[in-house]
A and B are shown apart, each in its own frame.
Chain A
Amino acid sequence: MHFVIIGNGVAGIEAAFAIRDRLGPGEAKITVISDETDYFFSRTALMYAYMDKLDRRDLEPYERKVYAQKQIELVRGRVVDLDAAEASLRLQDGSTVAYDRLLLAVGAKPRMVPFAGLDEVEEGLVHFVSMQDLDECERLTWSTERAVVVGGGLIGVELVESLTHHGVEVTFLVREPWFWPAALGKEEAEIVAEHIREHGVDLRMEEEMSEIQVDDAGRVSGVRTNLGDEIPCQMLGVAIGVQANVEWLQGVSTPPAINRGVMVDRSFRTTLPNVWAAGDCVEVDVGRRPGLVETIWYSAKRHGKLAGLSMAGERVEYHPPLFYNSTKFFELEFTTVGDCVDVADGATTLFRKMPGKPISQRIVANERGEVIGFNMLGSRFDHRVLEQWIHDRRDLAWVQRHLQEAQFDVEFGRVPLSKMVEKEIA
């Protein structure tokens, strides 16, 4: 049986390994097609390559010989057509690939809106999600004195940090009233904003780009903001989110059902026969509307494994775990578990802050006093312990007493929790 996987990101490769784990080379031929890179790389590590902390090769999580050992064939190419009736794919070079079972793990691409002046731009506008984006960023950095980054999310701050590392002066435009309101409360957002500013970044809240300006050669030369300010720059990073990379699928011979992503059930099957989908490109039907779109690394990894098992013949039922995520704002590590923002009325929030240091903890409890979410900034916590407490419906006072059991700081470096100042936020 021929298993074909489109996309060699974490979902695609995890699926390939999961299939091979169940089916030997005699039972399953596995082909992975990608037009981005020859080998799977860690997308989350792009910024470390940009900052020269890693070489390109270091981004590859597996030794290259692993694919040969596991008999997974890697093909470089772009799929342009999918015909589910014929069970075949057509590649850009004209060749066709027949499959028995297909996985669409085509990921996400940067979201874009029609900014004024966008049509004039030939060069200088970058995103930061693909290997090609990294190439482009590295190429442009040398001739950049100032840059503007738009979008107050995780990719935006990664791009800002990388540019700052290279000595580029950065203006960071964030539309929202505080930094990353999708995950951060106002209090920790202020700590993060101050930390970003301490690195020399011109961080502006509630300011949006209204127009892109270009020079005679078509290179970005500046932006105008909605407050009328003009900021000269040679690079413009747009990081206003990502969306499923499904546009091309709408035009193929037999498109699968698509909403915000390829629609899949809990076993990652699409509406097409023998076609599965996983990772950032899917919307999982979990019995409510809209379905679940999870564009984070951990989810894609999980999706890939399960989709692979499903394709290999296992009965799979995906139940997304309690939400958690992690990131790093310059030196500040951040872990979030459960629900901390947009919580229902009646919730209580305990905010703990270390005086004089960018360390804080937000613990949110529902109207019954049961803990439902944690935001941990500037020190390390074991999210699995925090998850367990939410699962066990521990009350706020209990969690306060036991908080140190979830600490994960380095030896000798445990943050003294007793020195933190607490306040309750209604």
Chain B
Amino acid sequence: MRQKGTIGWLKHDITHRGVTAWALSAALFAFYVILYWTDWLDPVAQALHLGSKWTLYGLLYTIAITAGGIYVMRKYRHNKYQIVRTTVIIFVQATLAFSVPLILKFFNQPEVYLSYLWPLKIEYFYPSTIASWPLPFIIWSIAGSLLMVPLLATFFGKRWYCSWVCGCGGLANTAGDPFRQLSNKSSAAWKFEQYSIHITMLLSFVVTAAVVASFFIGDSSPMLQSAAGEMQSAYGFVVVAILSGIVGVGVYPIGGTRVWCRYFCPMAAVLGLVQKKGKYRITVKDNMCISCGLCSKYCEMGIDVRAYAQRNEDFTRASCVGCGLCEEVCPRGVLHLENSDKPRSGPQPLTIDALVDESWKDRHVSPHAEEKQESVISVNWN
């Protein structure tokens, strides 16, 4: 019996929700519980002269992104978009998300992660945080969240952040790459995502507003002050610790890499809303799709890309992070990520049912045919 090369990596236990996948998931969960709620990692960090467990975590995260990034760059070496994007991910992680905060701390400055912005880092809009910062950081943070994010998203979609800069996306697109196909592609998951991500976004707004309000008028309203405090810690526990940390990374081997980004990230929600109105879209080559489904399979956000491709429809989905893997795996080169002002083809927006509804009456009647012979549907794609 032959063995070599017979097990494809898709069918491998660890990337196919096998026993090792569940074990890895459990180990990741355990790691995050230990990291967040014990001080067991502090001695390890000190032994490595890293100061705190958080610095150790940052180092591990940076190593994972760098090693995973090298793997991904080799894997997709013929694809320039992937090379450039992955290089930027590694660079941003190694500098803005790791060494810059360390250097700041060394010079007794506040430990600011310049690659993260509100509402992903909700505390960056808390007055108590801002009060401890020097002015340039305050300007960067506020202008970044309120101006740069929507402006860049208008021109480039959410990808400039979600799959070029953000550390959560960075880990997903590097070390997480072997798990990307595990995302849930069902229309039910899409429905759930539309609720969950916008609910989290609204929560982040409400909590921020409450905390800011309590800072200014809290003295005269003890009830607001205590409510804001409780909301702040509840949000920190549920959204930041559980959803972005434990669930976000812990379920990689079971539910794919972008569970946090897709269902919960408030920043992704804001970017997505802007993206829908902006210039970014995925263009589909007409009548070239063979419905193979590789695009949908390897979409980490669980978008059924094939549903659009096979009905020749350019599209922009709020959740699309522009990683470009659908474009990479398409065996017929049907898909193209682009920022463009050209009008989109096909009806927008789509409902789930519309994905299989094709109104041929209006769309494919050739004008020349009508001149010659009324009511004859003459299909000539030339």
Residues of A bordering B, CB below 8 Å: 10, 17-18, 21-22, 42, 44-45, 48, 51-55, 58-63, 66, 69-70, 141-145, 165-168, 297-298, 301-302, 305-306, 309, 314-319, 321-322, 326-328, 331, 333, 335, 380, 382-384, 387, 391, 408, 410-413
- The answer to whether B285 touches A63 (Cβ under 8 A) is no
A328 touching B331, Cβ below 8 Å: yes
Q: Say if the beta carbon of B332 comes within 8 Å of chain A.
A: yes
Q: Is the CB of B377 within 8 A of A410?
A: no
B272, CB-defined interface residue at 8 Å: no
Given A143-B2, A326-B288, A391-B382: A306 touches B377 (CB 8 Å cut-off): yes
A141–B6 contact, CB under 8 A? yes
Q: How far is the CB of B245 from chain A (nearest CB, A)?
A: 30
Bound-state CA distance A306–B377 (Å) is 9
Task: Name B6's closest neighbour in chain A (CB-CB).
Answer: A166
Q: Are A45 and B380 in contact (CB under 8 A)?
A: no
Most chain-A Cβ atoms within 10 A of its Cβ — which of B2, B287, B333, B337?
A: B333
At the interface with chain A, which of B45-53, B171-179, B251-259, B355-363? B355-363
Partner of A319, one of B292, B331, B373, B378: B378
Instruction: Name 18 A/B residue pairs within 8 A (Cβ), A-sorted.
Output: A10-B291, A21-B357, A21-B360, A45-B294, A48-B293, A48-B331, A61-B291, A61-B306, A141-B2, A167-B4, A168-B2, A319-B378, A321-B381, A328-B331, A328-B332, A331-B78, A382-B285, A412-B81
Q: Are A298 and B292 in contact (CB under 8 A)?
A: no
Identity of the chain A residue whose Cβ is nearest the Cβ of B9 in the assembled complex? A52
Q: Which of B7, B84, B377 contacts A317 (CB 8 A)?
A: B377
Q: Are A413's CB and B81's CB within 8 A?
A: yes
Task: Return chain A residues, CB-CB under 8 Å to B328.
Answer: 410
Q: Assuming A383-B285, A387-B381, A410-B327, what are 16 further A-B pairs, CB within 8 angstroms? A: A21-B360, A44-B292, A45-B294, A48-B293, A58-B297, A59-B292, A61-B291, A69-B353, A166-B6, A297-B290, A305-B379, A321-B382, A326-B288, A333-B331, A387-B382, A411-B324
- CB-based contact B292/A321 at 8 Å: no
Alpha-carbon distance between A167 and B6 when the two chains are bound, in angstroms: 7
Q: Flag if B359 contacts A21 (CB, 8 Å).
A: yes
Q: Is there a chain A Cβ closer than 8 Å to B154's Cβ?
A: no
With both beta carbons as reference points, the residue of chain B lying nearest to A138 in the complex is identified as: B6
Determine the residue in chain B with the shortest Cβ distance to A318: B379
**Any A CB within 8 A of the CB of B148:** no
Interface residues of B (CB under 8 A from A): 1-2, 4-11, 78-81, 83-84, 186-187, 285-288, 290-294, 296-297, 306-307, 310, 324, 327-328, 331-333, 336-338, 353, 356-361, 369, 373, 375-382
Complex CA gap A110/B84 in Å reads: 44
Q: Do the beta carbons of B297 and A408 come within 8 Å of each other?
A: no
Given known contacts A309-B360, A316-B377, A45 and B292 CB-to-CB distance under 8 angstroms: yes
CB–CB A45/B360 < 8 A: no
Q: How far is the CA of A142 from the CA of B3 in the complex (A)?
A: 7
Given contacts A315-B377, A382-B285, contact A411 B292 (CB under 8 A): no
For residue A25, give the distance in angstroms from its CB to the closest CB of chain B: 14
Question: Do the beta carbons of A317 and B2 come within 8 Å of each other?
Answer: no
Considering the complex, give the chain A residue whose CB is closest to the CB of B353. A69
**Is A54 in contact with B80, judged by CB distance below 8 angstroms?**
no
State whether A410 touches B79 (Cβ < 8 A). yes
Decide: A17 and B291 in contact? CB cutoff 8 A. no
Question: Are B290 and A66 in contact, CB atoms less than 8 angstroms apart?
Answer: no
Residues of B contacting A167 in the complex (Cβ-Cβ under 8 angstroms): 2, 4-6
Minimum CB distance partner of A410 in chain B: B81
CB of B117, distance to nearest CB on chain A (Å): 24
